[in-house]
């Protein structure tokens, strides 16, 4: 167990549905992330939150709406998705986005098990 949990683990939804993915970290971290892992494609960073503030949005369509009410919880609200949005959605957390020895970089991230999403 990495200390990062995700629910649900599996989700099937129609294109007109609205659903939410939940991520919770028990590590006392300040930064949280959403990733998308599609079949045969590299993992893609979607959103970054640091101290509850969204710091990065990597050109993600508006049908994906993140929410970070506090440093321990992260949601991904889904609406009017497309079949190509079917993927494994991974959540991760890290202590923070900090300067380390003059280099700016993300600290070691801890990942949840993911939510396997199928859009019909």
Partner 1 sequence: KQEVTQIPAALSVPEGENLVLNCSFTDSAIYNLQWFRQDPGKGLTSLLLIQSSQREQTSGRLNASLDKSSGRSTLYIAASQPGDSATYLCAVFYEDSGTYKYIFGTGTRLKVLA
- Residues binding partner 1 (CB under 8 A): 2, 4, 6, 40-45, 48, 55-56, 58, 90, 92, 100-114
Distance of closest approach, residue 59 Cβ to partner 1, in angstroms: 9
CB of 1 or CB of 84, closer to partner 1: 1
Minimum CB–partner distance for residue 80 and partner 1 (Å): 26
Count other Cβ atoms within 10 Å, centred on residue 118.
12
Residue closer to partner 1, measured from CB, 75 or 110? 110
Q: How many CB atoms lie within 10 A of CB 64?
A: 19
Pair type for strands 10-13 and 115-119: parallel
Shortest spacing between CB 85 and partner 1, in angstroms? 18
How far the first Cα of the chain sits from its last, in Å, is 31
Q: Which is nearer to partner 1, 10 or 69 (CB)?
A: 10
Residues 120, 83: contact at Cβ < 8 Å? yes
What is the CB neighbour count within 10 angstroms for residue 93?
28
Q: How far is the CB of 37 from partner 1 (least distance, A)?
A: 9
């Amino acid at each position: 167990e990495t200390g990062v949990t995700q629910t649900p683990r599996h989700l099937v939804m129609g294109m007109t549905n609205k659903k939410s993915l939940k991520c919770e970290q028990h590590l006392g971290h300040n930064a949280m992330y959403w990733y998308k892992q599609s079949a045969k494609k590299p993992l893609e960073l979607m959103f970054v939150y640091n101290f509850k503030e969204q710091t990065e949005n990597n050109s993600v369509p508006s049908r994906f709406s993140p929410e970070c009410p506090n440093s321990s919880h992260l949601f991904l609200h889904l609406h009017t998705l497309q079949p190509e949005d079917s993927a494994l959605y991974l959540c991760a957390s890290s202590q923070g986005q900090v300067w380390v020895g003059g280099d700016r970089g993300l600290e070691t991230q801890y990942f949840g098990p993911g939510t396997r999403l199928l859009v019909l």
